[in-house]
């Protein structure tokens, strides 16, 4: 188990939070959800909800530590350092840099990447920079420039990987109830236009067309039910809505009524 250590209050720009080291590896920096909530202007329960909704993507001991999880042995550390709010608290999460990067996209915060760059450059990588400072004592200007370029390339690769991972998380996030309502309304409007244009009023015919349109949407998304639609499906669904026409089978069935 990697030992945790409170570093004290950290201040990066206008952000002030509790610096914590360890838990995810020797000298690895981490952040409390309660501090993340303050930085993003949200409530702790909102951040916890975002994590819980995507919990399968947060690996214990690698991406997240829940101080209230009895199996990891960190509860006493949290109690000794006053990290547990009250007896009603269900989760006290600590996030690694890797998982904080993904959380930003889940939160859909307009300032997400501005915050991320600030924290990565000046908090998460601070220990790394200190450990590497000896390498910059190279007196040869050519070698010194080469080393600086290598360090910058490593950072850019790391940032690109984090952004790709956050995009994957966002794409696979289920649509919100609000988005579901908007989608249902758009589907209804598409059907109403078709019914009006073709002057169809028979209830059986309407039901057949509604089934056909809904089936076209699910087929475009590749899911068996609307509740399984995710963010990444919206482009295909929008195209399916624009191009939808009843199938030949449905049109033949309509003629029977």
pLDDT of residue 207: 92
Q: Is 238 strand, coil or helix?
A: helix
Question: Are 39 and 115 in contact, with CB atoms under 8 Å apart?
Answer: yes
pLDDT of residue 130: 44
C-alpha count within 13 angstroms, C-beta hemisphere, residue 42: 19
Q: Residue ranges per domain, the chain?
A: 5-171, 177-255
What CA–CA distance (Å, rounded) separates 216 from 74?
50
64 phi and psi, to 5 degrees? -145, 145
Q: Is the pLDDT of residue 146 over 70?
A: no
The mean pLDDT value for 20-47 works out to: 83
What CA–CA distance (Å, rounded) separates 253 from 257?
8
pLDDT of residue 129: 46
Give 3's DSSP letter: P
Higher-scoring residue by pLDDT: 178, 145: 178
Q: Is the pLDDT of residue 245 over 90?
A: yes
Determine what percent of the chain falls in helix, strand and coil, rounding each to the nearest 5: 60, 10, 25
pLDDT averaged over the chain? Answer: 78
Higher-scoring residue by pLDDT: 75, 135: 75
Q: How many residues appear in the chain?
A: 257
Token couple for 238: 């929008």
Identify the band that residue 195 occupies on the pLDDT scale cut at 50, 70 and 90.
Answer: very high
Question: Are 48 and 93 in contact, with CB atoms under 8 Å apart?
Answer: yes
Closest CA to 37 of 15, 63, 68: 15
**In which residue are the tokens 């990066």 written?**
12
pLDDT of residue 71: 75
Question: Are 162 and 101 in contact, with CB atoms under 8 Å apart?
Answer: yes
Give 95's DSSP letter: E
> pLDDT tens across 89-131, in order?
788 888 887 777 777 767 765 556 666 666 666 666 654 444 4
Q: Is 41 strand, coil or helix?
A: coil
Identify the band that residue 249 occupies on the pLDDT scale cut at 50, 70 and 90.
Answer: very high
The mean pLDDT value for 243-248 works out to: 92
Higher-scoring residue by pLDDT: 97, 142: 97
Q: What percent of the chain has pLDDT over 70?
A: 71
Identify the band that residue 210 occupies on the pLDDT scale cut at 50, 70 and 90.
Answer: very high
Query: Do strands 93-96 and 5-12 pair parallel, antiparallel, or not at all (unpaired)?
Result: unpaired
Q: Is 170 strand, coil or helix?
A: helix
∠ CA 28-56-72, rounded to 5°: 50
Q: Is 198 strand, coil or helix?
A: coil
CA pseudo-torsion sign 148, 152, 158, 159: positive
């Amino acid at each position: 188990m990697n030992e945790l250590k409170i570093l004290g209050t950290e201040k990066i720009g206008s952000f002030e939070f509790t610096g914590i080291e360890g838990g995810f590896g020797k000298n690895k920096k981490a952040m409390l959800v309660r501090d993340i909530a303050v930085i993003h202007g949200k409530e702790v329960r909102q951040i916890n909800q975002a994590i819980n909704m995507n919990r399968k993507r947060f690996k214990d001991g690698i991406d997240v530590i829940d101080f209230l999880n009895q199996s990891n042995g960190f509860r006493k550390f949290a109690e000794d350092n006053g990290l547990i709010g009250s007896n009603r608290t269900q989760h006290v999460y600590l996030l690694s840099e890797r998982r904080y990067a993904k959380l930003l996209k889940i939160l859909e915060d307009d300032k997400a990447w501005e915050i991320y760059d600030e924290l990565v450059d000046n908090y998460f990588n601070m220990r790394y920079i200190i450990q590497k400072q000896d390498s910059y004592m190279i007196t040869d200007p050519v070698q010194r420039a080469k080393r600086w370029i290598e360090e910058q390339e490593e950072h850019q690769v790391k940032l690109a990987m984090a952004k790709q991972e956050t995009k994957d998380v966002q794409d696979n996030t289920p649509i919100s109830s609000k988005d579901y309502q908007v989608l249902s309304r758009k589907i209804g409007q598409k059907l109403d236009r078709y019914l009006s244009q073709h002057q169809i009023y028979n209830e059986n015919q309407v039901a057949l067309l509604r089934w056909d349109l809904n089936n076209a949407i699910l087929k475009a998304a590749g899911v068996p039910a609307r509740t399984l639609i995710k963010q990444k499906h919206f482009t295909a669904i929008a195209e399916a809505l624009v191009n939808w026409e009843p199938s030949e089978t449905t049109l033949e069935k309509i003629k029977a009524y």
